Amino acid sequence: MVKNKFVADYQINTSRKILFPYLSTASGLSEWFADNVTINEDKTYIFHFDGEDHYARIVALRTNMHVKFDFYDPNNQDESDHSYIEFKLEENDLTQTLFLKVIDYSDSYDDEELESIWESLINNLKEIIGG
């Protein structure tokens, strides 16, 4: 299946320190991103949404700046072109405005669907953090 790379920026009115745990921890992600997120003994994140489990590993992490989750199929170890979701926190130096950059590399949706999905997810996140 052909993968699609969706990139969008969202202004969030909060600090990096408040926002980052919602992007990088199982409990934070469970609040706005997935129905449930757990971490097993291998440090694999298990995202439960749409009635399915999706397995991911953190492949890049810089506290309060950036996190990248690489999704994989535990039953298909040969797969090389993994889907991923990346969250980057970027600040406008002039206005001190914080932006959340979302990079979603996956199959199954077109840009319009992804834009709608992410708008809804980010609105949920903003309601939770008050940003």
pTM for this predicted structure: 0.92
Span 4-129 CATH architecture: 2-Layer Sandwich (3.30)
Where do the domains of the chain lie? 4-129
pLDDT digit string, tens, across residues 84-107: 999 999 998 888 899 999 999 988
Question: What are the C-alpha distances in Å from 83 to residues 69, 71, 98?
Answer: 9, 5, 26
Which pLDDT score, from 0 to 100, does residue 77 have? 72
Enumerate long-range contacts of 83-89, CB under 8 Å, 24 or more apart: 83/3, 83/107, 84/56, 84/59, 85/56, 86/60, 87/23, 87/24, 89/16, 89/19, 89/20, 89/23, 89/64, 89/65
CA distance 1 to 15: 38
Mean pLDDT score across all residues of the chain: 92
